[in-house]
Amino acid sequence: MKRFEFSMMIFGLAAMLSTPAVVGAQQPAAGEAVISSTSVSATVTKIDYTTREVTLRTQDGKEHTIVADSAVRNLAQVKPGDVVTATYAEALAYEVLKKGAKAPGVEQVVGGGRAEPGARPAGAIGQQTTVTVTITAIDRSVPSVTFLGPRGNSRTVKVRHPEKLEGVNVGDMVDITYTEALAIKVDPAPKK
């Protein structure tokens, strides 16, 4: 994934939460991506606007009280019966680069956003870490690939799809990118 796609994914995740279905991040153009997301919802049962304590009832009937941080905007709009939904999404992707295309290393990008004043409370935060490693061995009989990380650590991994080793050589680089994001939104109480 490119860096600009990460920012779009974080803010896109917050936007996706405005619909009932949650979908994962887009797959990058190259490599393979493993994407998953999980959502949990709870109903507001009590709220104390002075202490910012919000009591939530989960689907199993248990109640939990949390304190909304002062950074949470528009808390006054939250009422008993409203539904709070939190969604966690993560993706793991890789891209093979030719030898010398990039130096081994680690890059990290963090981003987030929150509801505008006057909007219903919502927010999202995410992080993307890319590690660039060097291929030091390829065993097509297993099939497996051995990588050398930027800190000198070595790791051998099995290759799920041997056909993806076509054109890959010792000395090539691989960008391995892990992305995770958390988004929270508040919807009005369902109409009866």
Q: Are the beta carbons of 126 and 80 closer than 8 angstroms?
A: no
Q: Residue 10: which of 131, 179, 177, 130 has the closest Cα?
A: 179
| pLDDT recorded at residue 23 | 31
| pLDDT recorded at residue 32 | 61
Cis peptide before 143 (omega within 30 of 0): yes
- For residue 97, the surrounding DSSP H or E stretch is strand 83-97
Q: Are the beta carbons of 70 and 52 closer than 8 angstroms?
A: yes
In a domain, 22, yes or no: yes
In a domain, 146, yes or no: yes
In a domain, 21, yes or no: yes
Q: Are the beta carbons of 166 and 174 closer than 8 angstroms?
A: no
Domain that holds residue 8: 3-187
In a domain, 63, yes or no: yes
Q: How many domains does the chain have?
A: 1
| pLDDT recorded at residue 4 | 36
Q: How far apart are CA 108 and CA 102, in angstroms?
A: 16
In a domain, 192, yes or no: no
In a domain, 109, yes or no: yes
Alpha helices in the chain (DSSP H): 3-16
**Which regions in the chain score pLDDT beneath 50?**
1-29
| pLDDT recorded at residue 139 | 96
| pLDDT recorded at residue 29 | 40
